Homo-oligomer: A and B are copies of this chain.
Amino acid sequence: MTDLSFFHTPTSVAVIGASDNPDKIGGRPITYMTSLDYAGALYPVNPTRPTVQGLQAYPAVEDLPEVPDVAVVAVAGQAAVEAVGTCARLGVRGCVVMSSGFGETPDADGRRQQEEMLRAARETGMRIVGPNTQGLADFGSGAVLGFSTMFTEQPPADGPVAVVSQSGAMCSVPYGMLRRRGIGVRYAHATGNDADVSAAELAASVVADPDIRLLILYLEDIRSPAAVEELADVAARRGVPVVALSGGRSAGGQRAAASHTGALANETRVVDAFFERLGIWRARNSADLTAAVDLYLQEGARPAAGGGLAIVSNSGAICVLAADAAADHDLRLATFTRETRDGLVAALPAFAATANPVDVTAALMTDSTLFGKVLPVIGADPGVDACVIGIPVAGRGYDIPAIAADVSVFARDSGVPTAVAIAQPEVGEVFRAEGLAVFDDEDTAVASLSQVIRHAELTTAAAGRPRLSDRRPGASVSTLDEADSLDLLAGLGISTVAATRCRDVEATVAAFEARGGVPVVVKGCTSAVTHKSDLGLVRLGLADAEQVAAATADVLDIMARNDVTGGVLVAPMVRGALEVMVGAHLDPVFGPVVVLGAGGTAVEIAPDVRVLLPPFTADEARAAVASLRMAPLLGPVRGEEAADVDAWVDMAMRLGEEMVRPGSAVVSVDVNPVMLRRGAGAGATAVDAVVLAGDGATS
């Protein structure tokens, strides 16, 4: 891992384009570093002023008493390019280029200028953050190489969370959320265009900091999967959970990202698979990024070990709604033991509910000790692995500090991950001050508990997975026809339908008869047509020689009329099986990708597919199959055995192995349908396939 720590703890900082005005982007870094007692040397560079914000100013970087460790570039356009060039020449280690108007614009000049900066930096090994960045902030060292307004609005405090973001706003927003909740943030880094240093690379350096316990990451594209893998490795080694939001899941979002940070569109499903593979939690929106932070930081909470959720409230409705939320977020309710039930009956009024959920009722208004009585009983139940406590109404008449203390003792003593749902902010503050994880409502509380539990499972599953292979398609690619595609698959050890390639009517009739007269399909065999049915090139269920002859003549005629060359394929009808699909292709960023899912025409119009990034294990492929919407259809259903999922998984494994095999010419494979039979060992058969391969693959 490249050492980027000089960006966090520079020994000296020059601000090029330093401003006396603390509200200009060239003024903010100086204001922040001064007020935070940054211990290194701070050099304002401004040719027009002797001092800037009370500090001695210098006309140019060359005039500084030393070569600064890092320079902040707050001048625009060509001046920025020149400043970067000078810094590189002088031996500055890193530049943070805040100015915009470079690679993120459609403007050719701006793009050229960005390239020029990169070239200058590469020549001397200088690193660049940006351009078009809000900049970096390390509240451990006080080095604020950025201009975010949020640091004025929500004063900083050092702490265990790091925020790294391609976007300035999505650095400031999580920072602000966390600070408003009293949580300390050490790093608030924004990287902008990621022309040189990427957000992931910087994040890896940040996560290596032994004081960091959680990383919040915002990306608009992933150009180098290897950098994210490196980050995930460091995070896994240190046990730091990573919560990432990757903007641009939709077509509209991708268009916006392109003009924001010049982002490339990543395929959403591939990013999902990639993050899951690395044990990174994918947030869906900005609120998601920080929603569960309190739970991630909860001290002494033991990991959930497959037990259930306990729900306790002074409101029956919150009991109801939290149980609904548990179902929505896939958490099982704990079933209490006999001892627990007895203990609760002894502790509570007669009209309270003593099963799970536990409703201590509005009696809490007159007896503030109720939580203190019931929680130890619940904490001792071996089946309880998480707890949500809902207090929707409290205030006058309630001893809130005593209740908060009781809940806090419970969370600490039991080690049960505990989320408290409190609708009144002023009540919530009392619980937060006790170190508890407090949420605005029952749904967010349960969703966050579910997140930390699932995330821990994800991280465990990710441990030890090999890195992605990186292989790119060859320059010259051609589509194989169906017969060649099936042959290629058969060569990989994949079971394919016994198809015969024929040139004319006599040959197809002979092929039909050679099979003993079982019904066959006749298809045009050509790589020139993708949707053969649309042209009438697929004839199913031909049961006698006449039908076969007529269909062959028809198909050959249609092909001739459409100037399509090629023969026809005769294959037996495969029935009594589930139609599934398996495919593979080379993603431009992530390399080889295997896809499996429901087959037939469904895949185009209502896709039910999962993506796997090879190398993957058979267990991982089975887990992907199990998470399909169609999964229930694969099990043993009324009167029928379970489908032979292993045969399907085997196909996916073989495709994955081929895609990462050095020297393979296969660029993409689409096998649809695969006919998957029911019964252990019943197997699966590839019935139709299209393979794209680099030249030479068919030989």
Residues of A within 8 A of B (CB): 23-25, 100-101, 104-105, 107, 110, 134, 148-150, 152-154, 165-170, 172-173, 176-177, 180, 218, 220, 245, 247-257, 259-261, 284-288, 311, 313-321, 323-328, 333, 350-351, 353, 355, 357, 359, 361-362, 365-366, 392-398, 423-426, 440-444, 531-534, 536, 538, 601-602, 604-606, 629-633, 635, 637-640
Contact = CB atoms under 8 A, between A and B. Distances in A.
A177 B423 contact: yes
A533 B640 contact: yes
B315 A167 contact: yes
21 contacts: A110-B351, A149-B365, A165-B317, A167-B316, A169-B318, A172-B393, A247-B321, A250-B326, A251-B327, A252-B324, A252-B327, A253-B321, A256-B320, A257-B316, A285-B325, A285-B441, A286-B318, A287-B444, A533-B638, A536-B639, A606-B632
Contact of A333 (B218, B252, B362): B252
Contacts of A326: 250, 252
A331 to B, nearest CB: 10
A359 B260 contact: yes
A567 B101 CA distance: 82
Contacts of A245: 321
Contacts of A319: 256, 260
Nearest to A327: B250
B250 A153 contact: no
Contact of A351 (B105, B361, B442): B105
Query: Closest 4 A-B residue pairs measured CB to CB?
Result: A533-B639, A260-B316, A169-B315, A250-B327
A317 B397 contact: no
Contacts of A313: 169
A134 B218 contact: no
Contacts of A323: 250, 252-253, 255-256
B170 A317 contact: yes
Contacts of A107: 350-351
Contact of A285 (B315, B442, B531): B442
Listed residue (A350, A362, A601) with the most chain B CB atoms within 10 angstroms of its CB? A362
Name the residue among A105, A245, A315, A635 with the largest chain B CB count within 10 angstroms.
Answer: A315
A163 to B, nearest CB: 13
A31 to B, nearest CB: 10
Contact of A105 (B172, B248, B350, B366): B350
A361 B132 CA distance: 11
A395 B150 CA distance: 7
B253 A327 contact: yes
A149 B398 contact: yes
A173 B327 contact: no
A423 B247 CA distance: 17
A104 B359 CA distance: 12
B362 A286 contact: no
Nearest to A313: B169
B105 A424 contact: no
Nearest to A174: B423
B359 A256 contact: yes
Contacts of A254: 320
A394 B441 CA distance: 27
A153 B443 contact: no
Contacts of A314: 169
Contact of A638 (B315, B361, B443, B534): B534
Nearest to A630: B606
Contacts of A629: 606, 629
Contacts of A538: 639
Given A261-B316, A286-B423, 6 more contacts: A167-B315, A170-B315, A254-B320, A287-B444, A606-B629, A606-B633
